[in-house]
A and B are shown apart, each in its own frame.
Chain A
Amino acid sequence: MPPALEFEHITKEYRGWRGRNPVCALDDFSLCVEPGEIFGFLGPNGAGKTTAIHIAMGFMRATHGSGLMLGQRFGDARTRSRVGFLAETVALYHRPVDRLLRFYGALNGMRDPQLRQRTREVLQTLELTDIAERNAGKVSRGMLQRVGLAQALVSDPELLVLDEPTSALDPPARVAVRELLLDFRAAGKTIFLSSHQLSEIELISDRVAILHRGRIRRLGRTSDLLESRERLQVVARGIAPDVFEGATASNGYVTFDVLASAQRAAIERVWSLGGEIVRVNPARRSLEQIFMEITRSAGEEVRR
Protein backbone atom coordinates (compact mmCIF):
# COMPACT_ATOMS: atom_id res chain seq x y z
CA MET A 1 0.00 0.00 0.00
CA PRO A 2 1.55 3.34 -1.01
CA PRO A 3 1.97 6.09 1.60
CA ALA A 4 -1.03 8.38 1.96
CA LEU A 5 1.22 11.39 1.58
CA GLU A 6 4.86 11.62 0.65
CA PHE A 7 6.99 14.75 0.38
CA GLU A 8 10.33 14.13 -1.31
CA HIS A 9 13.07 16.73 -0.75
CA ILE A 10 10.74 19.66 -1.26
CA THR A 11 12.10 23.18 -1.24
CA LYS A 12 9.83 26.16 -1.65
CA GLU A 13 11.10 29.67 -2.09
CA TYR A 14 8.90 32.73 -2.28
CA ARG A 15 10.48 35.38 -4.41
CA GLY A 16 9.71 39.02 -4.80
CA TRP A 17 9.57 41.00 -8.01
CA ARG A 18 12.23 39.73 -10.48
CA GLY A 19 13.36 37.05 -8.02
CA ARG A 20 14.43 39.51 -5.33
CA ASN A 21 14.28 38.86 -1.57
CA PRO A 22 13.78 35.09 -1.68
CA VAL A 23 12.26 33.57 1.45
CA CYS A 24 12.74 29.85 1.96
CA ALA A 25 9.48 28.44 3.36
CA LEU A 26 10.47 24.78 3.04
CA ASP A 27 14.05 23.55 2.96
CA ASP A 28 14.66 20.03 1.61
CA PHE A 29 11.50 18.87 3.35
CA SER A 30 10.79 15.13 3.30
CA LEU A 31 7.97 13.36 5.11
CA CYS A 32 5.96 10.19 4.73
CA VAL A 33 2.45 9.75 6.13
CA GLU A 34 1.35 6.13 6.34
CA PRO A 35 -2.19 5.01 5.52
CA GLY A 36 -4.51 4.71 8.50
CA GLU A 37 -2.67 7.03 10.87
CA ILE A 38 -3.41 10.39 12.41
CA PHE A 39 -0.36 12.50 11.72
CA GLY A 40 0.14 15.66 13.75
CA PHE A 41 1.96 18.40 11.89
CA LEU A 42 3.23 21.06 14.25
CA GLY A 43 5.25 24.19 14.05
CA PRO A 44 5.21 27.84 15.06
CA ASN A 45 3.77 30.51 12.75
CA GLY A 46 5.88 30.82 9.62
CA ALA A 47 7.34 27.32 9.97
CA GLY A 48 6.05 26.29 6.54
CA LYS A 49 3.12 24.05 7.53
CA THR A 50 0.53 25.72 5.33
CA THR A 51 3.02 25.90 2.46
CA ALA A 52 3.59 22.13 2.69
CA ILE A 53 -0.16 21.48 2.76
CA HIS A 54 -0.80 23.79 -0.19
CA ILE A 55 1.93 22.07 -2.21
CA ALA A 56 0.37 18.68 -1.43
CA MET A 57 -3.05 19.93 -2.52
CA GLY A 58 -1.62 21.34 -5.75
CA PHE A 59 -2.37 24.98 -4.89
CA MET A 60 1.27 25.85 -5.34
CA ARG A 61 4.34 24.28 -6.87
CA ALA A 62 7.53 23.31 -5.14
CA THR A 63 10.68 25.14 -6.24
CA HIS A 64 12.51 21.79 -6.04
CA GLY A 65 11.41 18.28 -5.20
CA SER A 66 8.19 16.43 -5.68
CA GLY A 67 5.64 14.37 -3.82
CA LEU A 68 2.84 11.86 -3.97
CA MET A 69 -0.67 11.91 -2.60
CA LEU A 70 -2.41 8.52 -2.48
CA GLY A 71 0.19 7.28 -4.95
CA GLN A 72 -0.31 10.08 -7.51
CA ARG A 73 1.71 13.22 -8.13
CA PHE A 74 0.70 16.31 -6.16
CA GLY A 75 -1.95 18.31 -7.98
CA ASP A 76 -3.63 15.38 -9.73
CA ALA A 77 -7.30 16.40 -10.00
CA ARG A 78 -8.75 12.89 -9.95
CA THR A 79 -6.86 12.01 -6.77
CA ARG A 80 -8.39 15.03 -5.05
CA SER A 81 -11.82 13.36 -5.23
CA ARG A 82 -10.42 10.93 -2.61
CA VAL A 83 -9.14 13.74 -0.38
CA GLY A 84 -10.97 16.06 2.00
CA PHE A 85 -9.36 19.43 2.68
CA LEU A 86 -10.07 22.13 5.20
CA ALA A 87 -8.14 25.39 4.92
CA GLU A 88 -6.91 27.37 7.89
CA THR A 89 -9.18 30.26 6.93
CA VAL A 90 -12.57 28.79 6.14
CA ALA A 91 -13.99 30.71 3.19
CA LEU A 92 -17.15 29.35 1.59
CA TYR A 93 -19.87 30.71 -0.67
CA HIS A 94 -22.81 32.42 0.94
CA ARG A 95 -25.61 29.97 0.32
CA PRO A 96 -27.66 27.53 2.39
CA VAL A 97 -25.43 25.00 4.15
CA ASP A 98 -27.06 21.89 2.64
CA ARG A 99 -26.85 23.29 -0.89
CA LEU A 100 -23.26 24.30 -0.28
CA LEU A 101 -22.36 20.75 0.72
CA ARG A 102 -24.16 19.41 -2.35
CA PHE A 103 -22.18 21.84 -4.53
CA TYR A 104 -18.82 20.67 -3.16
CA GLY A 105 -19.88 17.03 -3.34
CA ALA A 106 -20.97 17.47 -6.97
CA LEU A 107 -17.59 19.04 -7.80
CA ASN A 108 -16.07 15.78 -6.58
CA GLY A 109 -18.22 13.86 -9.06
CA MET A 110 -20.93 12.72 -6.63
CA ARG A 111 -24.49 12.40 -7.86
CA ASP A 112 -27.91 11.82 -6.32
CA PRO A 113 -29.11 9.76 -4.52
CA GLN A 114 -25.65 9.08 -3.01
CA LEU A 115 -24.94 12.82 -2.72
CA ARG A 116 -28.24 13.54 -0.98
CA GLN A 117 -27.70 10.66 1.43
CA ARG A 118 -24.10 11.64 2.21
CA THR A 119 -25.04 15.32 2.71
CA ARG A 120 -27.68 14.27 5.24
CA GLU A 121 -25.20 12.01 7.06
CA VAL A 122 -22.50 14.68 7.29
CA LEU A 123 -25.00 17.29 8.52
CA GLN A 124 -26.08 14.89 11.26
CA THR A 125 -22.54 13.86 12.20
CA LEU A 126 -21.42 17.45 12.62
CA GLU A 127 -24.69 18.50 14.26
CA LEU A 128 -25.50 20.94 11.49
CA THR A 129 -29.01 19.70 10.71
CA ASP A 130 -30.60 22.65 12.51
CA ILE A 131 -28.76 25.17 10.36
CA ALA A 132 -28.94 23.16 7.10
CA GLU A 133 -31.11 25.79 5.45
CA ARG A 134 -29.30 28.77 6.89
CA ASN A 135 -26.96 30.83 4.72
CA ALA A 136 -23.33 29.85 5.41
CA GLY A 137 -22.41 33.54 5.35
CA LYS A 138 -24.62 34.19 8.34
CA VAL A 139 -23.41 31.55 10.79
CA SER A 140 -20.91 32.00 13.61
CA ARG A 141 -17.19 31.36 13.09
CA GLY A 142 -17.35 28.10 14.99
CA MET A 143 -20.32 26.92 12.93
CA LEU A 144 -18.56 27.95 9.73
CA GLN A 145 -15.58 25.84 10.71
CA ARG A 146 -17.92 22.89 11.17
CA VAL A 147 -19.46 23.57 7.75
CA GLY A 148 -15.91 23.66 6.37
CA LEU A 149 -15.22 20.30 7.94
CA ALA A 150 -18.50 19.01 6.49
CA GLN A 151 -17.47 20.01 2.95
CA ALA A 152 -14.20 18.13 3.48
CA LEU A 153 -16.08 15.03 4.60
CA VAL A 154 -18.96 15.10 2.14
CA SER A 155 -17.32 12.87 -0.47
CA ASP A 156 -16.26 10.31 2.16
CA PRO A 157 -12.51 10.79 1.51
CA GLU A 158 -9.68 8.33 2.17
CA LEU A 159 -7.36 11.11 3.29
CA LEU A 160 -8.25 14.18 5.31
CA VAL A 161 -5.89 17.15 5.17
CA LEU A 162 -6.88 19.58 7.90
CA ASP A 163 -5.21 22.90 8.58
CA GLU A 164 -6.21 24.09 12.07
CA PRO A 165 -9.62 22.36 12.06
CA THR A 166 -10.62 23.26 15.62
CA SER A 167 -9.20 26.76 16.08
CA ALA A 168 -12.64 28.40 16.25
CA LEU A 169 -14.51 25.65 18.08
CA ASP A 170 -15.73 25.65 21.65
CA PRO A 171 -14.59 22.80 23.97
CA PRO A 172 -17.62 20.49 23.41
CA ALA A 173 -17.29 20.90 19.64
CA ARG A 174 -13.57 20.21 19.88
CA VAL A 175 -14.24 16.98 21.74
CA ALA A 176 -16.84 16.03 19.11
CA VAL A 177 -14.38 16.68 16.27
CA ARG A 178 -11.67 14.72 18.09
CA GLU A 179 -14.05 11.74 18.39
CA LEU A 180 -14.99 12.13 14.74
CA LEU A 181 -11.33 11.99 13.72
CA LEU A 182 -10.76 8.90 15.86
CA ASP A 183 -13.77 7.22 14.20
CA PHE A 184 -12.34 8.22 10.84
CA ARG A 185 -9.06 6.54 11.68
CA ALA A 186 -10.90 3.48 13.01
CA ALA A 187 -12.44 3.19 9.52
CA GLY A 188 -8.89 2.81 8.15
CA LYS A 189 -8.60 6.36 6.81
CA THR A 190 -5.71 8.77 7.12
CA ILE A 191 -5.64 12.22 8.71
CA PHE A 192 -2.93 14.80 8.19
CA LEU A 193 -3.58 17.37 10.86
CA SER A 194 -1.88 20.71 11.29
CA SER A 195 -2.72 22.41 14.55
CA HIS A 196 -1.55 24.72 17.27
CA GLN A 197 -3.68 22.84 19.80
CA LEU A 198 -0.80 20.77 21.14
CA SER A 199 -2.85 18.99 23.79
CA GLU A 200 -5.24 17.84 21.10
CA ILE A 201 -2.46 16.55 18.87
CA GLU A 202 -0.97 14.79 21.90
CA LEU A 203 -4.29 13.05 22.53
CA ILE A 204 -5.07 11.73 19.08
CA SER A 205 -1.94 11.64 16.89
CA ASP A 206 -0.11 8.40 16.19
CA ARG A 207 2.92 10.27 14.91
CA VAL A 208 4.07 13.85 15.07
CA ALA A 209 6.44 16.03 13.08
CA ILE A 210 7.62 19.37 14.39
CA LEU A 211 8.57 21.82 11.69
CA HIS A 212 10.61 24.96 12.25
CA ARG A 213 11.90 27.36 9.61
CA GLY A 214 11.05 24.94 6.82
CA ARG A 215 12.83 21.93 8.31
CA ILE A 216 11.66 18.99 10.34
CA ARG A 217 13.20 19.23 13.79
CA ARG A 218 11.56 16.21 15.36
CA LEU A 219 9.65 13.27 13.90
CA GLY A 220 8.40 10.14 15.57
CA ARG A 221 5.66 8.28 17.35
CA THR A 222 3.87 10.56 19.78
CA SER A 223 4.38 8.16 22.70
CA ASP A 224 8.14 7.90 21.96
CA LEU A 225 8.49 11.66 21.82
CA LEU A 226 6.64 12.22 25.05
CA GLU A 227 8.55 9.59 27.02
CA SER A 228 12.19 10.42 27.55
CA ARG A 229 14.77 7.64 27.61
CA GLU A 230 17.44 9.90 29.08
CA ARG A 231 15.45 11.18 32.05
CA LEU A 232 13.50 9.37 34.72
CA GLN A 233 10.84 10.58 37.07
CA VAL A 234 11.29 9.42 40.67
CA VAL A 235 8.50 9.55 43.28
CA ALA A 236 9.63 9.10 46.89
CA ARG A 237 8.27 9.68 50.37
CA GLY A 238 9.80 10.35 53.77
CA ILE A 239 12.30 12.95 52.52
CA ALA A 240 12.34 16.75 52.42
CA PRO A 241 11.53 18.27 49.02
CA ASP A 242 14.58 20.55 48.96
CA VAL A 243 17.03 17.59 48.83
CA PHE A 244 16.70 17.27 45.05
CA GLU A 245 16.81 20.19 42.66
CA GLY A 246 13.48 20.98 41.05
CA ALA A 247 11.60 18.52 43.28
CA THR A 248 7.93 19.12 44.03
CA ALA A 249 5.99 17.87 47.04
CA SER A 250 2.35 16.89 47.21
CA ASN A 251 0.50 14.91 49.92
CA GLY A 252 3.83 13.73 51.39
CA TYR A 253 5.15 12.49 48.06
CA VAL A 254 8.23 14.13 46.56
CA THR A 255 8.60 14.02 42.78
CA PHE A 256 11.79 14.86 40.89
CA ASP A 257 13.53 14.12 37.58
CA VAL A 258 17.02 12.64 37.29
CA LEU A 259 19.23 11.62 34.40
CA ALA A 260 19.08 7.87 33.70
CA SER A 261 22.80 7.65 34.44
CA ALA A 262 22.24 9.21 37.90
CA GLN A 263 19.29 6.97 38.77
CA ARG A 264 21.18 4.61 41.10
CA ALA A 265 22.84 7.46 43.03
CA ALA A 266 19.51 9.24 43.49
CA ILE A 267 17.76 6.15 44.79
CA GLU A 268 20.61 5.41 47.22
CA ARG A 269 20.44 9.01 48.43
CA VAL A 270 16.72 8.66 49.17
CA TRP A 271 17.40 5.47 51.11
CA SER A 272 20.32 7.05 52.99
CA LEU A 273 18.01 9.86 54.08
CA GLY A 274 15.55 7.31 55.45
CA GLY A 275 13.11 7.77 52.59
CA GLU A 276 11.31 5.24 50.47
CA ILE A 277 11.05 4.97 46.68
CA VAL A 278 7.42 4.80 45.53
CA ARG A 279 8.01 4.50 41.77
CA VAL A 280 10.52 5.22 39.00
CA ASN A 281 9.19 5.84 35.46
CA PRO A 282 10.53 7.31 32.24
CA ALA A 283 10.05 11.07 32.54
CA ARG A 284 6.99 12.11 30.54
CA ARG A 285 6.96 15.55 29.05
CA SER A 286 4.08 17.31 27.42
CA LEU A 287 4.15 18.01 23.71
CA GLU A 288 4.15 21.68 24.62
CA GLN A 289 7.44 21.29 26.50
CA ILE A 290 9.03 19.45 23.58
CA PHE A 291 7.66 22.00 21.13
CA MET A 292 9.06 24.90 23.15
CA GLU A 293 12.46 23.21 23.52
CA ILE A 294 12.73 22.59 19.81
CA THR A 295 11.63 26.02 18.70
CA ARG A 296 13.92 27.68 21.28
CA SER A 297 16.98 25.61 20.34
CA ALA A 298 16.31 26.12 16.61
CA GLY A 299 16.03 29.84 17.26
CA GLU A 300 19.38 29.85 19.09
CA GLU A 301 20.96 27.86 16.24
CA VAL A 302 19.84 30.53 13.79
CA ARG A 303 21.17 33.34 16.02
CA ARG A 304 24.58 31.60 16.25
Chain B
Amino acid sequence: MRPVLLIAANFLREQRWLTLVLVLYALGLAAIVGFSEKQIPADDAIFFLRQQSLYAPLFSLFLGVSAIHNERKSRRILAVLSKALTRQQYLAGLLVGIVAVLSSYCFAIAISGAWLLRSAQASLAQLWILLAMTALTSVLVSAVALFFSTFMTPVFATAATAATVALPAALEQTLGHGWGSVVPVYELVAQVSEHALARPGSADWRLLMIAVIETLLFWALASWIFAGRDITAAVE
Protein backbone atom coordinates (compact mmCIF):
# COMPACT_ATOMS: atom_id res chain seq x y z
CA MET B 1 0.00 0.00 0.00
CA ARG B 2 2.90 2.37 0.78
CA PRO B 3 4.27 2.43 -2.79
CA VAL B 4 0.74 3.17 -4.07
CA LEU B 5 0.41 6.13 -1.72
CA LEU B 6 3.89 7.37 -2.61
CA ILE B 7 3.08 7.29 -6.33
CA ALA B 8 -0.29 8.95 -5.67
CA ALA B 9 1.27 11.70 -3.57
CA ASN B 10 3.90 12.21 -6.23
CA PHE B 11 1.23 12.44 -8.95
CA LEU B 12 -0.68 15.01 -6.91
CA ARG B 13 2.53 16.97 -6.44
CA GLU B 14 3.30 16.85 -10.16
CA GLN B 15 -0.24 18.07 -10.91
CA ARG B 16 -0.28 20.66 -8.12
CA TRP B 17 -0.57 23.67 -10.42
CA LEU B 18 -3.41 22.11 -12.40
CA THR B 19 -5.14 21.18 -9.12
CA LEU B 20 -4.68 24.71 -7.81
CA VAL B 21 -6.09 26.17 -11.02
CA LEU B 22 -9.14 23.86 -10.83
CA VAL B 23 -9.75 24.72 -7.18
CA LEU B 24 -9.32 28.45 -7.75
CA TYR B 25 -11.54 28.26 -10.83
CA ALA B 26 -14.38 26.65 -8.85
CA LEU B 27 -13.99 29.05 -5.91
CA GLY B 28 -13.51 32.09 -8.15
CA LEU B 29 -16.56 31.35 -10.25
CA ALA B 30 -18.64 30.82 -7.11
CA ALA B 31 -17.38 34.17 -5.78
CA ILE B 32 -18.42 35.90 -9.03
CA VAL B 33 -21.90 34.32 -8.86
CA GLY B 34 -22.20 34.91 -5.11
CA PHE B 35 -21.12 38.55 -5.07
CA SER B 36 -22.94 39.59 -8.25
CA GLU B 37 -26.34 39.60 -6.62
CA LYS B 38 -27.58 40.34 -3.13
CA GLN B 39 -30.01 37.42 -3.06
CA ILE B 40 -28.99 34.47 -5.25
CA PRO B 41 -31.92 32.48 -6.63
CA ALA B 42 -31.77 28.82 -5.57
CA ASP B 43 -31.96 27.74 -9.23
CA ASP B 44 -28.78 29.68 -10.02
CA ALA B 45 -26.94 28.02 -7.17
CA ILE B 46 -28.08 24.57 -8.25
CA PHE B 47 -27.18 25.32 -11.87
CA PHE B 48 -23.68 26.36 -10.77
CA LEU B 49 -23.25 23.12 -8.82
CA ARG B 50 -24.47 20.89 -11.65
CA GLN B 51 -22.37 22.67 -14.23
CA GLN B 52 -19.17 22.41 -12.16
CA SER B 53 -19.91 18.77 -11.40
CA LEU B 54 -20.21 17.95 -15.10
CA TYR B 55 -16.72 19.28 -15.79
CA ALA B 56 -15.15 16.77 -13.39
CA PRO B 57 -15.48 13.69 -15.68
CA LEU B 58 -13.95 15.74 -18.49
CA PHE B 59 -10.94 16.69 -16.36
CA SER B 60 -10.56 13.08 -15.25
CA LEU B 61 -10.53 11.91 -18.88
CA PHE B 62 -7.57 14.14 -19.67
CA LEU B 63 -5.74 13.25 -16.47
CA GLY B 64 -6.29 9.54 -17.15
CA VAL B 65 -5.10 9.45 -20.76
CA SER B 66 -1.99 11.53 -20.12
CA ALA B 67 -0.79 10.02 -16.81
CA ILE B 68 1.30 7.16 -18.21
CA HIS B 69 2.16 8.95 -21.45
CA ASN B 70 3.76 11.90 -19.63
CA GLU B 71 5.85 9.63 -17.45
CA ARG B 72 7.02 7.57 -20.40
CA LYS B 73 7.74 10.55 -22.59
CA SER B 74 9.81 12.25 -19.88
CA ARG B 75 11.44 8.86 -19.11
CA ARG B 76 10.89 9.47 -15.39
CA ILE B 77 9.06 6.16 -15.34
CA LEU B 78 12.42 4.34 -15.58
CA ALA B 79 13.74 5.48 -12.21
CA VAL B 80 10.36 4.74 -10.60
CA LEU B 81 9.85 1.27 -12.07
CA SER B 82 13.46 0.35 -11.32
CA LYS B 83 12.38 0.29 -7.67
CA ALA B 84 10.57 -2.45 -5.80
CA LEU B 85 7.04 -1.78 -6.98
CA THR B 86 4.89 -3.73 -9.38
CA ARG B 87 3.19 -2.23 -12.41
CA GLN B 88 -0.13 -2.98 -10.69
CA GLN B 89 0.91 -0.80 -7.75
CA TYR B 90 2.16 1.87 -10.11
CA LEU B 91 -1.18 2.08 -11.93
CA ALA B 92 -3.07 1.99 -8.64
CA GLY B 93 -0.89 4.89 -7.49
CA LEU B 94 -1.71 6.89 -10.61
CA LEU B 95 -5.43 6.19 -10.17
CA VAL B 96 -5.37 7.22 -6.51
CA GLY B 97 -3.41 10.32 -7.57
CA ILE B 98 -6.11 11.21 -10.11
CA VAL B 99 -8.73 10.64 -7.40
CA ALA B 100 -6.78 13.02 -5.15
CA VAL B 101 -6.75 15.75 -7.83
CA LEU B 102 -10.47 15.26 -8.50
CA SER B 103 -11.24 15.18 -4.78
CA SER B 104 -9.59 18.57 -4.42
CA TYR B 105 -11.77 19.88 -7.23
CA CYS B 106 -14.90 18.27 -5.75
CA PHE B 107 -14.01 19.71 -2.35
CA ALA B 108 -13.77 23.17 -3.92
CA ILE B 109 -17.17 22.62 -5.57
CA ALA B 110 -18.58 21.46 -2.21
CA ILE B 111 -17.35 24.55 -0.38
CA SER B 112 -18.42 26.99 -3.06
CA GLY B 113 -21.74 25.13 -3.61
CA ALA B 114 -22.50 25.05 0.11
CA TRP B 115 -21.84 28.77 0.39
CA LEU B 116 -24.05 29.57 -2.64
CA LEU B 117 -26.86 27.28 -1.46
CA ARG B 118 -26.75 28.81 2.01
CA SER B 119 -26.89 32.27 0.48
CA ALA B 120 -29.87 31.13 -1.61
CA GLN B 121 -31.41 29.61 1.53
CA ALA B 122 -31.68 26.28 -0.26
CA SER B 123 -31.29 22.82 1.30
CA LEU B 124 -27.82 21.33 1.54
CA ALA B 125 -29.11 17.88 2.46
CA GLN B 126 -28.33 16.19 -0.84
CA LEU B 127 -25.15 18.07 -1.71
CA TRP B 128 -22.91 15.15 -0.67
CA ILE B 129 -24.88 12.71 -2.89
CA LEU B 130 -24.35 14.95 -5.89
CA LEU B 131 -20.64 15.16 -5.13
CA ALA B 132 -20.37 11.39 -4.53
CA MET B 133 -21.99 10.78 -7.94
CA THR B 134 -19.64 13.32 -9.52
CA ALA B 135 -16.57 11.80 -7.90
CA LEU B 136 -17.47 8.21 -8.78
CA THR B 137 -18.34 9.11 -12.37
CA SER B 138 -15.00 10.88 -12.70
CA VAL B 139 -13.05 8.01 -11.17
CA LEU B 140 -14.72 5.54 -13.54
CA VAL B 141 -13.89 7.75 -16.54
CA SER B 142 -10.27 8.04 -15.40
CA ALA B 143 -10.02 4.24 -14.93
CA VAL B 144 -11.34 3.69 -18.47
CA ALA B 145 -8.93 6.34 -19.81
CA LEU B 146 -6.01 4.80 -17.90
CA PHE B 147 -6.93 1.39 -19.28
CA PHE B 148 -6.83 2.59 -22.90
CA SER B 149 -3.68 4.62 -22.31
CA THR B 150 -1.76 1.43 -21.44
CA PHE B 151 -1.79 0.42 -25.10
CA MET B 152 -2.84 3.52 -27.06
CA THR B 153 -1.48 6.99 -27.70
CA PRO B 154 -3.30 9.78 -25.82
CA VAL B 155 -5.33 10.82 -28.87
CA PHE B 156 -6.61 7.29 -29.55
CA ALA B 157 -7.08 6.64 -25.83
CA THR B 158 -9.24 9.77 -25.58
CA ALA B 159 -11.33 8.66 -28.56
CA ALA B 160 -11.63 5.10 -27.22
CA THR B 161 -12.64 6.34 -23.76
CA ALA B 162 -15.24 8.68 -25.25
CA ALA B 163 -16.59 5.80 -27.36
CA THR B 164 -16.72 3.42 -24.38
CA VAL B 165 -18.60 5.98 -22.35
CA ALA B 166 -20.92 7.04 -25.19
CA LEU B 167 -21.73 3.60 -26.62
CA PRO B 168 -23.93 2.38 -23.72
CA ALA B 169 -25.77 5.70 -23.86
CA ALA B 170 -26.37 5.28 -27.61
CA LEU B 171 -27.56 1.70 -27.08
CA GLU B 172 -29.82 2.89 -24.28
CA GLN B 173 -31.39 5.38 -26.68
CA THR B 174 -31.83 2.86 -29.52
CA LEU B 175 -32.32 -0.54 -27.88
CA GLY B 176 -33.95 0.46 -24.65
CA HIS B 177 -33.61 0.19 -20.94
CA GLY B 178 -30.60 -1.43 -19.26
CA TRP B 179 -27.79 -0.63 -21.69
CA GLY B 180 -27.02 2.67 -19.97
CA SER B 181 -25.89 0.76 -16.89
CA VAL B 182 -23.17 -1.17 -18.73
CA VAL B 183 -20.67 1.65 -18.27
CA PRO B 184 -22.91 3.98 -16.26
CA VAL B 185 -21.13 7.28 -16.96
CA TYR B 186 -23.93 8.69 -19.08
CA GLU B 187 -26.58 7.55 -16.60
CA LEU B 188 -24.72 9.12 -13.69
CA VAL B 189 -24.05 12.33 -15.60
CA ALA B 190 -27.76 12.51 -16.46
CA GLN B 191 -28.60 12.09 -12.78
CA VAL B 192 -26.13 14.80 -11.80
CA SER B 193 -27.54 17.21 -14.38
CA GLU B 194 -31.09 16.56 -13.19
CA HIS B 195 -30.23 16.37 -9.52
CA ALA B 196 -32.64 18.16 -7.26
CA LEU B 197 -30.89 18.92 -4.02
CA ALA B 198 -34.05 19.26 -2.04
CA ARG B 199 -35.45 15.84 -2.91
CA PRO B 200 -34.20 13.14 -0.55
CA GLY B 201 -32.73 9.82 -1.69
CA SER B 202 -32.30 10.77 -5.33
CA ALA B 203 -29.04 8.82 -5.88
CA ASP B 204 -29.19 5.52 -7.73
CA TRP B 205 -27.10 3.32 -5.45
CA ARG B 206 -27.11 0.50 -7.99
CA LEU B 207 -25.35 2.72 -10.55
CA LEU B 208 -22.87 3.93 -7.96
CA MET B 209 -22.08 0.31 -7.07
CA ILE B 210 -21.59 -0.58 -10.74
CA ALA B 211 -19.26 2.42 -11.10
CA VAL B 212 -17.11 1.24 -8.17
CA ILE B 213 -16.94 -2.36 -9.46
CA GLU B 214 -16.15 -1.26 -13.02
CA THR B 215 -13.44 1.11 -11.79
CA LEU B 216 -11.73 -1.83 -10.10
CA LEU B 217 -12.30 -4.00 -13.17
CA PHE B 218 -10.76 -1.46 -15.56
CA TRP B 219 -7.83 -0.97 -13.18
CA ALA B 220 -7.27 -4.75 -13.04
CA LEU B 221 -7.45 -5.02 -16.85
CA ALA B 222 -5.12 -2.04 -17.24
CA SER B 223 -2.65 -3.64 -14.81
CA TRP B 224 -2.77 -6.93 -16.66
CA ILE B 225 -2.09 -5.28 -20.03
CA PHE B 226 0.49 -2.84 -18.67
CA ALA B 227 2.42 -5.69 -17.01
CA GLY B 228 3.10 -7.17 -20.45
CA ARG B 229 3.94 -3.92 -22.22
CA ASP B 230 7.40 -2.65 -23.09
CA ILE B 231 7.49 0.67 -21.31
CA THR B 232 10.50 1.92 -23.20
CA ALA B 233 11.62 1.75 -26.73
CA ALA B 234 15.39 1.47 -26.78
CA VAL B 235 17.18 4.78 -26.80
CA GLU B 236 19.48 3.38 -29.46
Query: Which residues of chain B are near A263, meaning CB under 8 Å?
Result: none
Place the interface of chain A in its size category. Answer: 35 or more
Query: Which residues of chain A are near B231, meaning CB under 8 Å?
Result: 59-60
Q: Which residue on A lies nearest to B233, using beta carbons?
A: A14
Is A77's CB under 8 angstroms from B86's CB? yes
Query: Once bound together, how far apart are the Cα atoms of A93 and B75, in whole Å?
Result: 10
Query: Which residues of chain B are near A50, meaning CB under 8 Å?
Result: 234-236
Query: Once bound together, how far apart are the Cα atoms of A87 and B231, in whole Å?
Result: 13
Is A57's CB under 8 angstroms from B82's CB? yes
Query: Which residues of chain B are near A244, meaning CB under 8 Å?
Result: none
Query: Once bound together, how far apart are the Cα atoms of A58 and B90, in whole Å?
Result: 14
Cβ < 8 Å to B, chain A residues 143-175: 148, 151-152, 155
Query: Which residues of chain A are near B83, meaning CB under 8 Å?
Result: 80-81, 104, 107-108, 155
Stretch at the interface among B2-10, B118-126, B190-198: B2-10
**A159 CB → nearest B CB, Å:** 11
Q: Cβ of B32 < 8 Å from any Cβ of A?
A: no
Cβ < 8 Å to A, chain B residues 183-207: none
Choose one: B76, B89, B234; the contact of A54 (CB below 8 Å).
B234
Is B76's CB under 8 angstroms from A103's CB? no
Place the interface of chain B in its size category. Answer: 20 to 34
Is B79's CB under 8 angstroms from A92's CB? yes
Asked whether A108 and B232 contact (CB < 8 A) given A87-B79, A103-B10, the answer is: no
Cβ < 8 Å to B, chain A residues 42-88: 45-51, 54, 57-61, 77-81, 83, 85, 87-88
**A105 CB → nearest B CB, Å:** 9
Query: Once bound together, how far apart are the Cα atoms of A107 and B83, in whole Å?
Result: 6
Asked whether A91 and B76 contact (CB < 8 A) given A106-B2, A106-B6, the answer is: yes
Q: Which residue on B lies nearest to A46, using beta carbons?
A: B236
Q: Cβ of B14 < 8 Å from any Cβ of A?
A: yes
Closest CB pairs A-B (n = 9)? A81-B84, A60-B230, A85-B82, A107-B83, A91-B75, A87-B78, A51-B234, A46-B236, A77-B86
Starting from the known contacts A59-B231, A60-B230, A103-B10, 13 additional A-B residue pairs (CB-CB under 8 Å) come to: A14-B234, A50-B236, A51-B236, A54-B232, A59-B81, A77-B84, A78-B84, A80-B82, A87-B79, A92-B79, A95-B13, A107-B85, A109-B84
